[in-house]
Amino acid sequence: MQATDSAGHGTQSTTEATRPAADGATTGAAAGDQFDFMVVSNRLPVDRCSSDETGCEDGWRRSPGGLVTALAPMMTKTDGAWVGWHGAPDETVKPFSHGGIDLIPVQLSTEDIELFYEGFSNATLWPLYHDVIAPPEFHRTWWDSYRKVNRRFADAVIRHAAEGATVWVQDYQLQLVPKLLREARPDLKIGFFNHIPFPPPEIFAQLPWRRAIIDGLLGADLVGFQRSSDAGNFMRSARRFLGASVKQQQVHVRGADGETTHIARAQAFPISIDVKQISELAKKPEVIERAQQIRRDLGNPKTILLGVDRLDYTKGIRHRLKAYEELLQDAKVTVEDATLIQVASPSRERVEQYRLLREEVEGTVGHINGTFDTMESTAVRYLHHSYPIEEMVSLYLAADVMLVTALRDGMNLVAKEYVTARTNNDGALVLSEFAGAADQLKQALLMNPHDIDGLKDTIMRAVNMQPAEASRRMRAMRKQILDHDVDLWSSDFLKALAEKVVRDDS
């Protein structure tokens, strides 16, 4: 961090004003502080909470989702700042430090949350980018709010970025930020990473503001994706909707005067996890003991199956429950022998599709348990909570079979966490081929979750897998992840961003 005087760009920050740094946090960046490295994402790694909520410590808890899981470890080791929303509506919070990271909060009003976050981000883009599993809604008021809020995030960066700084913008909520930064601060190195899939042009075509989104992303020097198919989809859309001339996944981007401002590149960088943290936790006696206690508390079933997801319609929880219910009906599994633990962490609860999903999932769980439970044993132990990472690792250790049945998922870090936690090389991973993780975890039991019979067969293969086969598969998957942890992901991206690119147009 470079401490500077008021020569910083822009005017007074919305983050400076009223609220002192919250409990449990130390005062961080001041108004004029500038940084050589900045990450910007919709969410900060911590969320405001009240002390009666699970996982809440000193007014803050870890934010949900894979983005934070992946970026937080890198940021604790970096001398940079993280710009993002702190999770509470209408609350102005001063810059502060938490867990060793300098955080610069951006305020969202109740209206911004409704239109920008719940609306355009999570009821337009999210379903559109996930194979239209739910129908996306298109509203001009949501789009106006998306533009306005993207401008606010860009302004916060512009104020705090040192001359020539590297800025790494994250995810679908902020796709206009790269271009806004480029226009105001051509001195910056701008990277963007999309944590979720990028849809094929045939689906992206539905978006009324498709040109502005592509244009916004092309403001970056490097646009990173989870899979090479996502990078290909993006470049095909750039060609189709902006008439860009794409060569080797690169585009010459021109300014208003027609002059080339920079070359934008698209490339895949599959994200990963903090392998060291999970491996160390998995060896802690208290974490191992807790895993054994979980099994005892469930009545010592022979097999524990586990699902861990944000309660999101992309995760295929309904398909998983359907397959499991049929296995119980067919007496392929019994409640005496097996229990399915389903952790469904609360998510986007005011968005209609998420409300409907919760009703449906909870109705189905109630129906399954009502039909199959006995006084002693339960079919599905359903937990609508989020848990600290220690408890998650205990669950991974307790689970003989992990079920990741996403209908579409950018990566799915839960799959990678499970494999990393299995330090004894046992356990079986059932993994959807529609999760980005399937590209790396090729020794998982891969399946198509839409095919319920196929899913049932795959679950049974996992339940009955011989130790030698389980060990062979788990070893190979663990090697892949141990060799590709999240530090490598971020350093690969930042190295590629720093490279000087010349495009041969001959």
* Interface positions with ligand G6P (CB under 6 A): 42-43, 64-67, 122, 171, 195-196, 347-348
CB-side exposure of 505: number of CA atoms within 13 Å? 8
Shortest distance, position 117 Cβ to ligand G6P, whole Å: 7
Q: Which is nearer to ligand G6P, 8 or 410 (CB)?
A: 410
Q: Which is nearer to ligand G6P, 65 or 232 (CB)?
A: 65
Shortest distance, position 305 Cβ to ligand G6P, whole Å: 23
Shortest distance, position 347 Cβ to ligand G6P, whole Å: 6
The angle that helices 486-498 and 66-76 make with each other, rounded to 10 degrees, is 70
Shortest distance, position 270 Cβ to ligand G6P, whole Å: 14
Shortest distance, position 405 Cβ to ligand G6P, whole Å: 17
Q: Which is nearer to ligand G6P, 287 or 414 (CB)?
A: 414
362 φ/ψ angles, rounded to the nearest 5 degrees: -70, -35
Signed CA dihedral, 136, 138, 144, 145: sign only: negative
User: CA-CA distances (angstroms) from residue 491 to 21, 178, 272, 496?
Assistant: 31, 20, 12, 8
Residue type present at position 340: L
Q: Which is nearer to ligand G6P, 196 or 304 (CB)?
A: 196
Q: Which is nearer to ligand G6P, 195 or 319 (CB)?
A: 195
271 φ/ψ angles, rounded to the nearest 5 degrees: -80, 160
Q: Which is nearer to ligand G6P, 159 or 195 (CB)?
A: 195
**Residue 211 CA to chain centroid, in angstroms?**
25
Q: Which is nearer to ligand G6P, 87 or 449 (CB)?
A: 87
Give a three-class secondary structure readout of 65-124: CHHHHHHHHHHHCCCCEEEEECCCCCCCECCEEECCEEEEEECCCHHHHHHHHHHHHHHH
Shortest distance, position 207 Cβ to ligand G6P, whole Å: 18
User: In this chain, which residue has its C-beta nearest to ligand G6P?
Assistant: 65
Instruction: Single out the residue of 83, 82, 153, 91 nearest to residue 116, CA to CA.
Output: 153
Q: Which is nearer to ligand G6P, 43 or 473 (CB)?
A: 43
Burial label, 6 (beta-carbon count in 10 A; 0-12, 13-18, 19+)? exposed
Shortest distance, position 42 Cβ to ligand G6P, whole Å: 6
Q: Which is nearer to ligand G6P, 34 or 69 (CB)?
A: 69
Shortest distance, position 70 Cβ to ligand G6P, whole Å: 9
Shortest distance, position 285 Cβ to ligand G6P, whole Å: 32
For 95-111, b/e burial (b = at least 16 CB within 10 A) is bbebeebbbbbbbbeee
User: CA-CA distances (angstroms) from residue 91 to 21, 49, 134, 333?
Assistant: 12, 12, 31, 50
Give a three-class secondary structure readout of 274-286: CHHHHHHHHHCHH
